Amino acid sequence: MSFLDRFRKKTEDEASRIARLSKTGRMADGRIIDAVSDDHGHITEVTYTYMLAGVQYESSQALSELQQQHANDYAPGKQIVIRYDPRSPANSIVV
């Protein structure tokens, strides 16, 4: 490990990012704009949009198994709640 490696920001894995935002992220309203379904018609991934301080953000997320059980909540056009990192508002998750 080099001297500079000690000061570099560690990358966060997806599970840690979701857990952190679930606990500490600020909440905002969003809207589903697209959904990807598997062969059985279950929604597995969504694309969503939300607006913060006059800036519109767009992101996508693979849904957890629990979220997939409530697929009607994630249909295109549905209002959703997201959690985002106030230091990096583009970093968000679907709740």
What are the residue boundaries of the structural domains of the chain, listed by start?
26-94
| Residue that wins the pLDDT comparison between 12 and 35 | 35
Give whole-number Cα distances, 82 to 8, 10, 65, in Å: 29, 24, 17
Which of 4-8, 16-20, 42-46, 89-93 has the least mean pLDDT? 4-8
Sign of CA dihedral 58, 62, 72, 88: negative
Phi, psi of 40 (to 5 degrees): -95, 0
Six-digit token string for 87: 């230091």
Average pLDDT value for residue range 81-88: 96
The residue among 58, 59, 60 whose CA lies nearest residue 44 is 60
Q: What is the pLDDT of residues 16-71, one digit of tens each?
A: 999 999 999 999 999 999 999 988 888 999 999 999 999 999 999 999 999 999 98
CATH topology of domain 26-94: OB fold (Dihydrolipoamide Acetyltransferase, E2P) (2.40.50)
Phi, psi of 23 (to 5 degrees): -90, -40
pLDDT score at 43: 93
